[in-house]
Amino acid sequence: MPPHLLILGGTTEARELAAALAAHSAVRVTTSLAGRVTRPAPLTGDTRTGGFGGPEGLSDWLRAHHVDALVDATHPFARQITTNALQAARQANIPALVLRRPAWHPTPDDNWHPVPSLTAAAATLPALGPRVLLTTGRLGLSAFAALEDLHFLVRSVEPPAPPLPPHTELLLTRGPFILPDELHLLRTHRIDVLVTKNSGGAATAPKLTAARQLDLPVVIVERPPLPEDAVTVPDVGGALDWLGALGISGFPGSAA
């Protein structure tokens, strides 16, 4: 039987890892999605959708499906599933890796306002300008709902969950985005301030370059910390190396 890898997905890196494994090795890959997006981007290999029912449910799933290793490639802000994944892997006695793309870092020309939460982001906005580009995703926008004097352009893949601020314009679209388009968006909507999570990655980074070029402030929500015991790599290549070093026959580069 080929070895079975469970990838916890919902990111570009998860898709790329599944595709890389399909191309290079005799391994069975299942990618798990939370099911938040109605039309997820296509995935190579098997997929399953929906929560597992906490760490116990996940560890039961790992045992029942004879999973040999787990890679948590979820979004840097998906804190609960990462905690659950490491606990479940310990319970099921299988190795687990966290694939986490590096955070963005400001250059000397950036005007960043780091904050710990969406609520803190909302509190900083009135002092920074009346027209806001909000790119923090479709959930949690209730934090901004009381800001009645500001105008929000909300960009997200799916319609955001209410309550929303009273002056909200929606822009439903999926990245990647490119610099000329981001500059055009900021200019035509006369944006004063950008709000983003520190998600990292190339696909959505041009908005930061555009804000820098236009000298706009950026309110940036810092990442939640990773569990202390997490073994972490920054990219798909690192995940493939980790799989190879496990010594499980069938994983790429494995000598076993």
Interacting residues toward ligand NAP by CB under 6 A: 8-11, 32-34, 36, 51-54, 57-58, 74-75, 77-81, 84, 137, 197
Closer of 151 and 154 to ligand NAP (Cβ): 154
Number of helices (H), then strands (E), in the chain: 7, 12
Q: At its nearest, how many Å lie between ligand NAP and the CB of residue 68? A: 18
Closer of 10 and 200 to ligand NAP (Cβ): 10
End-to-end CA distance of the chain: 14
Q: At its nearest, how many Å lie between ligand NAP and the CB of residue 58? A: 6
Q: How far apart are CA 132 and CA 152, in angstroms?
A: 5
Closer of 54 and 247 to ligand NAP (Cβ): 54
Q: At its nearest, how many Å lie between ligand NAP and the CB of residue 82? A: 6
- What ranges make up the beta strands (E) of 45-180? 46-49, 69-72, 96-99, 112-115, 131-134, 151-156, 168-172
Q: At its nearest, how many Å lie between ligand NAP and the CB of residue 4? A: 16
Q: How far apart are CA 84 and CA 78, in angstroms?
A: 11
Closer of 34 and 214 to ligand NAP (Cβ): 34
Closer of 151 and 198 to ligand NAP (Cβ): 198
Side-chain-side CA neighbours of 99 within 13 Å: the count stands at 28
Q: At its nearest, how many Å lie between ligand NAP and the CB of residue 188? A: 26
Q: How far apart are CA 251 and CA 22, in angstroms?
A: 11
Phi, then psi, of 17 in degrees rounded to 5: -65, -45
Closer of 35 and 106 to ligand NAP (Cβ): 35
Q: How far apart are CA 90 and CA 92, in angstroms?
A: 5
Helix (H) or strand (E) holding 219: strand 218-221
Q: At its nearest, how many Å lie between ligand NAP and the CB of residue 237? A: 20
